[in-house]
Structure 1
Amino acid sequence: MHSAPFSVEVSVTSLAQENEYISNLDPLKADQLIQKVPFLNLKKDTIELVLLLVDIMPSMHEIHTFDKYQASAAIRDIGFLLGSLKRHQVEPVNIIPELEDKMNLLGDKSGLPPRDTLLHYTVWNPTDSRRRTYTGTQDELYLIDSVVVAMAPLVKCIILLRKLHLTPLNSPEFKAICQEIFTLFEKVIEGIVMARRKVSPSYFANELRFYFDPITLNNREYLGPGAVEMPMFVFDHLLWSSDCQDEEYRIFKETYLPYIHPEMRKVYHEFEDKSSLVSKVCRLADGQIEFNNMILDSLKSLSSCCRLLKSFRMPHKKIAEEAYAHTKKPELLSDKNEHIQRNHGSGGYSTDILTHILNLTNQKIEMLDLCISNFQAPDSGRDMSRN
């Protein structure tokens, strides 16, 4: 379906090895010190948090010696202090001015923004006794694990979608790849289900998400870790949205693009302003003169993947809405200074954007359904119940 091979090759194995490698690193020798963070947050002890940040902060000379993996691990550990201070209404750079230059250099070395992202918080976070958290609670541990469960299968799905763009619609391989994507995406859904079942909406709304608020560096805001930094929009991009003209969704995608893995960014840019898979297969099917059962199977298999995406979006939207619904009213907060406008997430968007994306997804699903209906119409006597 493409005339030329892809310029980018992404290996799931190599990314998994990278995750494990970074999670095992401790370039700041912070393994023991970072375990104090939950206790200090419970006490709201900003003085000790600042001292701890100063204690683990590397010198500019040390940062210059770091490779990208060490830089990523360093940002991970510093990030837990940054998020903790901001949660207690302290802007880190106002207390430690040299923080800005150091974070900029670490960000440049890692190929990511100069603060921690969802990658640092989850798949680059050590396990067991080395696990870094803000609160040490079971809810937070489940929150981290829910992303870890979903991330690897999602990346694999994205890589398979790239392969699907190269696969002829009238080949058995197209359906086989779709079925593999379907199976993997069910594991992505397992992650969102874990979060919904194991993480208290009230606790997330009134405690955890304060740690993910933006911090100021370079006279601009940098977002904290958040589920919206999952490369789900890259999956969308390849499947149905690379040719979507909706301006609001384009801005949404470009807002979070800097926060995802550089390899996922390359995949996104590779398909920018090109036909999405759904558009491409519909055009090919419409141009098919004679009925072909293999093409119909391919179309239906792709439709199944689209519907599974929809089944992910619904609980995701529900979780976000429940979090906002459980946000305490200002008069019920023990600390009135904690009330920041919370009808928007730390990324600056309300749940309305999730409704908007779901509607756009549904429009593309309807387009594919119409294509399938038109394609099978000449042979309406055939049994079309099977996938």
Structure 2
Amino acid sequence: MHSAPFSVEVSVTSLSQENEYISNLDPLKADQLIHKLPFLNQKKDTIELVLLLVDIMPSMNEIHTFDKYQANAAIRDIGFLLGSLKRHQVEPVNIIPELEDKMNLMGEKSGLPPRDTLLHYTVWNPTDFRRRTYTGTQDEQFLIESVVVAMEPLVRCIILLRNLHLTSLSSPEFKIICQEIVALFENVIEGIVIARRKVSPSYFANELRFYFDPIILNNREYLGPGAVEMPMFVFDHLLWSSDCQDEEYRIFKETYLPYIHPEMRNIYLEFENKSSMVSKVCRLADGQVEFNSIILDSLKSLSSCCRLLKSFRMPHKKIAEEAYAHTKKQDLTFTTNENTHRNHGSGGYSTDILTHILNLTNQKIDMLEICISNFQAPESGRNISRN
């Protein structure tokens, strides 16, 4: 059994080390076998896919010896076969009933659902010649890379936002942390740029996304890997939405909460039903008797974080709309219940949810901008403080 090579504390370093550690593991000895997948998927050879899944599937005794890192590496490799079978309209558990107990045990060890997630598909996926793919295409390689590029900077931003909640608005450190978030978030946007430029919307809509369909285990659906499992909603949660009363967005966040890293999930729960950063600073600024240039700098720096979030939301929404537009074109020719289902994402949401989230984001940004305007207005009556 492998031992953990790092502290379990929430830190970027530990999570980055975890990504590398899991991606290097091959507990099912699947490195060579898994590279058959693109060929088998091209042939739609479900019999060989089932045989390959049976071949790499560990016994219950083996699973009991796994630590959480080995369990996640095993789920990763099994997940590629589950997604492949489901893409070819085979429900895996109907063919291999013992799959359920084994996936449940590995899921329990991993602290994640009993199937693969975006983490398994991207940051826990080996690099170079060991990388697992469904199709072997450049589009899929760039799809994976777009998430890998964005994930660690996003995690860093979330941890910095958590620190920001503990930092005084009147401290120069507040502005410094905001500037660090802005610099890092540019890399998150770079991930979107890669996806936009390198992944064909038509190919994603009509081929790749079907590998991420939900599967049935325990008489319920478990969602497949998807960009929506990026912990962007945790970033939102800390920045502006932890106190958002919108029921649709609350349900959306809670749908995907089980699928994100347990440490990110813990941070989300830590701030549940508490004031968001935007609400907190607006309340503090409105109650400030004296005008303070440091507080104004802090407010403007937080506004920069919010505006950058908006610059992420717009291209993300555009990519999703382009993908689903291609899906709808296909559905004009092939109208089936399955295609109707696939006009929505794997979680059952259409692109309308992205418009809704963007509108909610803009409302909170507007609230902050009004707060800044009021704070620095001469008619506010605040005394000038240079501290």
Normalised by the length of structure 2, the TM-score is: 0.94
* Residue 116, structure 1, aligned to residue 107, structure 2: no
Q: Deviations over 1:52-87 (max 9, x none)?
A: 000000000000000000000000000000000000
1:332, distance to aligned residue in structure 2 (A): 3.9
CA distance in 2 between counterparts of 1:336 and 1:364 reads 40
Following superposition, the deviation at residue 346 of structure 1 comes to 1.1
Match of 1:177 in 2: 177
For 2:292 and 2:256, how far apart are their aligned partners in 1?
Answer: 41
**In structure 2, distance between residues paired with 1:28 and 1:93:** 19
The aligned counterpart of 1:130 is: 130
Q: Corresponding residue for 1:276?
A: 276
Aligned to 1:94: 94
Query: Aligned partners of 1:29 and 1:358: how far apart in 2?
Result: 44
Matched, 1:321 2:326: no
- Which amino acid letter does the alignment assign opposite residue 221 of structure 2? E
Letter of the 2:322 counterpart: E
Q: Which amino acid aligns with 2:330?
A: K
**Identical-residue share of aligned pairs (%):** 88
Q: Which AA in structure 1 matches 2:224?
A: G
Q: Runs of 4+ in structure 1 displaced over 2 angstroms?
A: 328-333, 335-342
- 2:326 is aligned with what amino acid? H
Secondary structure (helix, strand or coil) at the match of 2:290 reads coil
Query: Are 1:306 and 1:365, in contact at CA under 8 Å, matched by a contact in 2?
Result: yes
Q: How does 1:13-52 map to 2 (within 5 A)?
A: 13-52=13-52
The residue aligned with 1:385 is none
> How many residue pairs align between the two structures?
372
Measure how far apart 1:338 and its partner are.
Answer: 6.5
Q: Deviations over 1:141-185 (max 9, x none)?
A: 000000000000000000000000011101110000000000000
- Cα deviations by residue, 1:195-245 (Å, 9 ceiling, x for unpaired): 000000000000000000000000000000000000000000000000000
Local SS of the residue matching 1:221: strand
Give 1:341 deviation, angstroms. 2.4
Once residues 307 and 316 of structure 2 are traced to their aligned partners in structure 1, the CA distance between those partners, rounded to angstroms, is 14
For residues 330 and 13 of structure 1, what CA distance do their matches in structure 2 show?
45
**TM-superposed deviation, 1:91:** 0.2
Q: Which residue of 1 aligns with 2:235?
A: 235
Cα distance in 1, alignment partners of residues 9 and 268 from structure 2: 13
Residue 340 (structure 1) shift:
4.8
Q: Where in structure 2 are there 5+ consecutive unaligned residues?
A: 1-7, 381-387
- Which residue identity lines up with residue 46 of structure 2 in the other structure? T
1:31, CA displacement in angstroms?
A: 0.2
Q: Distance in 2 between matches of 1:368 and 1:339?
A: 42
CA contact (8 A) 1:291 1:378 kept: no
Counterpart in the other structure of 1:5: none
Instruction: Please give the per-residue CA displacement for 1:287-316, whole angstroms capped at 9, x wherever unaligned.
Output: 100100110000000001000000000000
Equivalence for 1:216: 216
Partner of 2:188: 188
| Residue of structure 2 equivalent to 1:153 | 153
Q: CA deviation at 1:9?
A: 4.6
Aligned counterparts, 1:48-67, within 5 A:
48-67=48-67
Compute the RMSD of aligned alpha carbons.
1.4
- The alignment partner of 1:89 has SS state of coil
- 3-state secondary structure, aligned to 1:291: strand
Q: Compute the displacement of 1:379 (Å).
A: 7.2
State the partner residue of 1:366.
366
Change (3 A) 1:93 1:340: farther
1:253 aligned onto 2:253: yes
3-state SS of 1:329 partner: helix
Question: Is 1:204 the counterpart of 2:204 in the alignment?
Answer: yes
The structural deviation recorded for 1:337 is 8.8
Amino acid at match of 1:252: F
The one-letter code matched in structure 2 to 1:232 is: M
CA distance in 1, matches of 2:33, 2:296: 59
Separation in 1 of the partners of 2:236 and 2:346? 22
Aligned-partner residue type, residue 76 of structure 2: R
Q: How far, CA to CA, are the matches of 2:185 and 2:177 in structure 1?
A: 12
Aligned partners of 1:86 and 1:213 also within 8 Å: yes
* Structure 2 partner of 1:301: 301
Q: Contact 1:53–1:78 at 8 Å: present in 2 too?
A: yes
